[in-house]
Structure 1
Amino acid sequence: MRPDPSMEDILASIKRIIADGDRKPNGRSLSPETDHSDDLRKHDSDSSVLELTDPVTSSLSKDQPMNNEHRDYTENNTPLNGHSSKSQDSLMSEKAEQASRQALKNLSAMMVSQTSHQDLTLEDLVKEMLRPMLKDWLDSNLPAIVEAMVSREISRITGQHL
């Protein structure tokens, strides 16, 4: 079994990783001191700047139909077998369907809630439960405590009893 690395070893390793990360794969540094004036001169032509005050001509006239390639296909909700989902022969009533959906939603929400709280400790749970009570107590008592402390400090500094 290897001994744990010392703090100096860890810091040296981190510094090495950071230093290696500041270099491009071709060996050039990514530091901000790099001179990029040549790159700026290449892209400094006025033709590449878009004037926002110039009118833009549309390539699509009002006579041309829009491309419906990306239209929303959820408009057509008919099942593939051709029968409507609200058929008269339904085995379940609308009320039973809604109750089933709600039960499944509650179950899925409960499962999500349980998976997100699996790594909480008892201390975390207690903090979470005490937070609303602490907030209420602070809301009702903190102004009086602050006022008393400020008054006491002012009287101590000035030498007068308020």
Structure 2
Amino acid sequence: MARIWKETGFVENDPYVIESEEVKAGEGQIAVLDLEAFLAAADETNEGGLAVLIKPADDATALKPYIDRLALVAVAFPAFNDGRAFSHASLLRSRLGYQGELRAVGDVLIDQVPLMLRCGIDSFAVTNETALKRLSEKRLPAIREYYQPAATAATNPGSYGWRRLAKAAV
């Protein structure tokens, strides 16, 4: 079973449940629907507080009309070598302006967490034992140099990503 982690620590009593044929959200829980089911449900209501799972092959831009009604977008990392969810996260934050919770689910490994944070992911469903241990010890690997701008603020103002953003603003 996955434990939810944010930069403030592990979250107890997380209400979100990724629904499948075998698993359904119960009382007091919020269903995280796959994109197709989400789009059908969102068109039937004007409610907010919705949650959706974006899989690697999904078109995250389909969320644009519903972006202000979403409380959680989960991006799926089915394998450590499938990085399409990084692109989904970046698109949601930078182009679609999504401000809600953005969660990594699936194969979340400790060495990828800093990169996930940089592209705007702010919560993590972690099952990997090494990652759970390191996160509980507050031992997150550091990235000292990077080349691209990110959704999070630069910690090193002299880095390449910072210079690229500065040139774009001129």
- On whether the aligned pair clears a TM of 0.5, the verdict is no
Higher percent of residues as strand? 2
Higher relative contact order (CA 8 A, sep 6+): 2
Higher Cα Rg: structure 1 or 2?
1
Scaled by the length of structure 1, the TM-score of the pair is 0.15
Scaled by the length of structure 2, the TM-score of the pair is 0.14
Higher percent of residues as helix? 1
